[in-house]
Amino acid sequence: MTGIHTLNQIIADAASAPSAHNTQPWSPRMIGDGAAVELRVSRKRTLPASDPTGRDTLLGLGAWLEAFSVSAAAHGVDFEVEVLPALADPEAIVHARSDEPVLRIELREAGGGPGADSVDGAMNVRASVGAGVSATGTGTHSQGTAADTPGSGSAPAGGAEPVPSAGPDSDRQLLASRRTVRGDLAPAKGLVIELANALPAWLRLVPVDADDLRHFSALGTADTLREPAIARELAHWLRLHPSHPRYDVDGLNNKVLGVPALVSRLASAFTRKRRLREAAVRVVAPVGELWRRVLLEVPVSAAGEDAPAAAAAFVLVADTKLLDLGSGADATRVLNSPLGLSPERVLEAGQALMRLWLLASARGAAFSPASEIIDSSLAQGELRYRLGLSRRDVPLFITRVGVPKDPNPPRAPRR
Ligand SMILES: Cc1cc2nc3c(=O)[nH]c(=O)nc-3n(C[C@H](O)[C@H](O)[C@H](O)COP(=O)(O)O)c2cc1C
C-alpha cells in the first residue's frame, strides 16, 4: 500500500496542473489508507458560461491526471485508472453539481522503485508521451496501456529526441517549473514540430501565424465579452489586488496577468463589488459588440498549406476520422455532441496537452493560451476556415509558445 505521506505528495504535485482561469476544478479524495484516490469535480470550480461543453474542465482534469502520473512514477508508485460514468455527466463536468467521482485511481507499488520507468535516464514525461487513459467507455484502464489509436502506446509516437534528465526528482521539478505567461515570448525554433511529433496520431498541432492569432484572439475576446454571463464569470475569477480574499488561492491575479499596478487598483473594485461589477458588465457588452463588428471587417482568407517552420503558436486538434467512435447511433451521438468528441478522449487530450507543456518547459519555453478563440463560435469558425480544418477536426486548445523574456515569470497560486 502506498504510504499516506507519499500519496499526499503526489496529490500536491498533481495540483500544479494548469486549468482555465486557474479554477483548479479537481477534488481528489484518498480512499482507505492510500489504496485508491477518487477524483471529483470541485463545486463552484467550473465555468458553465465560458465553458458550456466542459472542454476546459476535462482538459484540466486530464492535465491533473498526467501531473499525478509524473509524480507517481517519480515516487515509484504504479496505478490503474478507472473512468467512471460521471465523466460524461454535464452535471458533474459543466455545472459541478454532482458528488459522484469521475475517476478512480487504484494504487499499486511499482516493481522497480522510484523512476523505474525512466528510459535510459530520459524523463518520465517523455516515456509516457503517447500513453493515455483508454477511451472506450467506462471500465478499468491501465495508465500507460496503448489507447486504440495509431501512434499511441508507451513509447513516444513521433520519435522526439530524448530529454536529458537527472532522474525522477527532476521530473517533479519540471512540474514545478512549468510556466504560463501572458507577456512577450522569444521564438523557440523547431519546438512546435518537436511537440507535434510527441502526439498520438489522432491529435495534431496546426501552426498558427502570429498576426492571425492576434486577430482571432481580439475577435474571440470581443465576441465572448458581449455575453454578460461570460464577463461576470471572468470578473469572478479575477483577483486584481492583494486585498482580495482569494488572492493567494486561485483565479487570475494582477501579477500573472501582467496588469500594471494603477490599472489593477482601479479595476479591482469592479471585480469585487456586485453593483460595480454589474455596471462594468453592462458597459463591456456594447463595447464588445462594436469591437467585434470592426474586427469582422478585416478580411480573412484561407491560408496556404505550408506550415511556418518558426511557428510561434499552434492549435491542438483532434481528428475524429482517426478515432473509433463506435458504429451507427454511438458515432452519431458523439459527433453531434457539443464537444464533438467523447469526454474520455478530451481527458486523454488533456494528458497529452500537459506532456507538451512539460516538454516545452524542459526546453525553457512556456505557453500563452488564447482559449477565447475556441470559446467564441465566430472566432473558431474563422480560424477553422483560415486553417482549412474539416468538420471532423475538433480544435481543443490554442496557444502561443516560446521562451519567456522574463526568466522568472510570476506563478499562479494554488489552494
Ligand atoms: C484548458 C485550459 C485553457 C486555458 N485558457 C487560457 C486562456 O485562454 N488564457 C490564458 O491566459 N490562460 C489560459 N490557461 C492557462 C491558465 O490560466 C493557467 O493554467 C492557470 O492560471 C494556472 O497557472 P499555471 O499554468 O501558471 O500554473 C488555460 C489553461 C487550460 C488548462
How do residues 220-273 score in pLDDT, each as one tens digit?
A: 999 999 999 999 999 999 999 999 999 999 999 999 999 988 888 888 888 888
**SS3 at position 266:** helix
Check residue 342 and report its DSSP letter: -
**369: Cβ below 6 Å to ligand 1?**
yes
Q: Is the separation of the CB atoms in 122 and 68 below 8 Å?
A: no
pLDDT of residue 407: 85
Confidence of residue 123 (pLDDT cuts 50, 70, 90): very low
Greatest CA span in the chain, whole angstroms?
A: 62
DSSP 248: T
What per-residue confidence (pLDDT) applies to 171?
86
* Statement: residue 122 has pLDDT above 50: no
pLDDT of residue 113: 53
Nearest to 403 by CA among 352, 342, 354, 362: 362
Whether residue 106 is predicted with pLDDT greater than 70 in this model: the reply is yes
Task: Work out the mean pLDDT of the chain and round it to a whole number.
Answer: 85
Between CA 21 and CA 170 the distance in angstroms is 27
Asked if residues 64 and 39 have their Cβ atoms less than 8 Å apart, the reply is yes
**Is residue 182 in contact with ligand 1, taking CB distance under 6 Å?**
yes
Best mutation site among 13, 16, 21 for ligand 1 pocket (most ligand atoms within 8 Å of CB): 21
* Atom of ligand 1 lying closest to residue 19 CA: 31
> Are the beta carbons of 270 and 276 closer than 8 angstroms?
yes
Q: Ligand 1: does its nearest atom lie under 6 Å from the Cβ of 374? A: no
Measure 61 CA to ligand 1 centroid, in angstroms.
13
The rounded Å distance from CA 370 to ligand 1 centre is: 9
Cell of 257: 496577468
Beta strands 203-207; 139-142: pairing state: unpaired
What integer is the mean pLDDT of 200-209? 94
Task: Take atom 28 of ligand 1 and give the residue whose Cα is closest.
Answer: 20
Tell me if 206 CB under 6 Å of ligand 1.
no
The string of pLDDT tens digits covering residues 136-180 is 333 334 343 333 333 333 333 233 333 445 566 788 899 999 999
pLDDT in tens, 38-95: 999 999 999 999 999 999 999 999 999 999 999 999 999 999 999 999 999 999 999 9
- Dump pLDDT digits (tens) for 312-331: 999 999 999 999 888 888 88
- From the CA of 257, give the closest atom in ligand 1: 11
Q: 284 CB under 6 A from ligand 1? A: no
Q: Which amino acid is at 108?
A: R
Q: How far apart are CA 197 and CA 185, in angstroms?
A: 22
Place of cell 484516490: 37
Tell me the one-letter amino acid at 253. Answer: N
Which residue, judged by its Cα, is nearest atom 2 of ligand 1? 20
Where residue 104 falls (left for φ over 0; alpha for ψ -120 to 50; beta otherwise) is beta
pLDDT: which is higher, 140 or 182: 182
Identify the CA nearest to 342 among candidates 79, 121, 148: 148
Closest residue by Cα to atom 10, ligand 1, is 369
- β-bridge pairing 393-404 and 366-369: antiparallel
The sign of the torsion formed by the CA atoms of 307, 309, 312, 316 equals positive
129 vs 393: which has the higher pLDDT: 393
Least trusted range by pLDDT, from 15-24, 89-98, 295-304, 380-389: 295-304
Does residue 225 sit in helix, strand or coil? Answer: helix
Contact at 8 Å (CB) between 64 and 14? yes
The phi and psi torsions of 175 (rounded to 5 degrees) equal: -55, -40
Name the H helices within 273-305.
274-296
Q: How far is the CA of 71 from the centre of ligand 1 (A)?
A: 21
| Probe target for ligand 1 pocket from 22, 182, 383, with the most ligand atoms within 8 Å of CB | 22
Which residue, among 356, 336, 354, 352, has the nearest Cα to 344 in the 3D structure?
Answer: 352
Of 398 and 159, the structure prediction assigns the larger pLDDT to: 398
Judge whether residue 291 has pLDDT over 70.
yes
What pLDDT is stored for residue 316 in this prediction?
97
| Cell matching residue 102 | 469521475
pLDDT at 213 over 90: yes
Residue ID of nearest Cα to ligand 1 atom 1 = 56
* Mean pLDDT to the nearest integer, 98-107: 96
Our answer on whether the CB atom of 346 is closer than 6 Å to any ligand 1 atom is: no
Q: If you average pLDDT over residues 288-308, what whole number do you get?
A: 77
CB 240 less than 6 A from any atom of ligand 1: no
Euclidean distance between CA atoms 170 and 73, whole angstroms: 12
**In testing the pocket of ligand 1, which one of 179, 180, 223, 353 has its CB within 8 Å of the most ligand atoms?**
180
Q: Is 19 in the pocket of ligand 1 (CB under 6 A)?
A: yes
Residue type, 107: L
Map residue 199 onto helix, strand or coil: coil
Q: What average pLDDT score do residues 192-210 get?
A: 94
CA of 301 relative to ligand 1 center, distance in Å: 29
Answer for the pair 361, 179: CB distance below 8 angstroms, yes or no.
yes
Instruction: Check if the beta carbon of residue 320 is closer than 8 Å to that of residue 29.
Output: no
Atom of ligand 1 nearest to the CA of 411: 26
| Torsion 158-164-165-171 (CA) sign | negative
Distance 240 CA to ligand 1 centre (A): 17
- What residue ranges define each of the domains in the chain, with the CATH number in brackets? 4-168 (3.40.109)
- Using a 6 Å cutoff on CB, does residue 224 contact ligand 1? no
Is there a contact between 414 and 16 (Cβ–Cβ < 8 Å)?
yes
